[in-house]
Chain A
């Protein structure tokens, strides 16, 4: 089967740094994406890693290690507005029409 695992909940303090991990087991791999979803809102695209290494976009960074089937989202200088659910998703192979396989989401709780 195909699956992604990420922690269900992570708690951090405002101003701190937090890492949300994602491990995957899929029959093919074409990239790891991260999405943010605030309560009552829509998922919004944050980042995409197709190659190993770190991609940085402002306070958010995303890392991928294909040999370890592992990635993480790193959020720095946490703000209260970062309280949301974060989903990792892997792009499946062409025979699955490259559809995204989604993790169950990590609820990030930020305390003042």
Chain B
């Protein structure tokens, strides 16, 4: 199936740990994003890559580091996890940065830090 797939779907971990979330899209899109959705459902852009180049790097703690090995993959590594990092993280992709067709989102990774 063509889609944006991210793993894992659920992640429960202790404070201070390091974790990674992986994202892959097979839609042929060239732009990928990481979003954080908090408990109030507000969607906040974290990073965006266009053809493996970082183009959006919002104000997020430097404990968060994205990596795009190729334009079909965008991973997110988080160091020294904190309670406030608990949220749902969505990967998304689009054809170009100004696509009229909108973004395609992955199913999300629910991160719980305990």
Contacts and interface: CB of A to CB of B under 8 A. Distances in A.
* A and B interact: yes
Interface string A33-47: 101010001111100
Interface in B8-55: 40-45, 48, 50, 55
A35 B41 CA distance: 13
B4 to A, nearest CB: 8
A104 B42 contact: yes
B103 A45 contact: yes
Interface residues of A, number: 23
B79 interface: no
A41 B107 contact: yes
B103 A98 contact: no
A97 B97 contact: yes
Contact of A33 (B50, B97, B102): B102
A71 interface: no
Contacts of A60: none
Interface of B: 40-45, 48, 50, 55-56, 90, 92, 97-98, 100-108
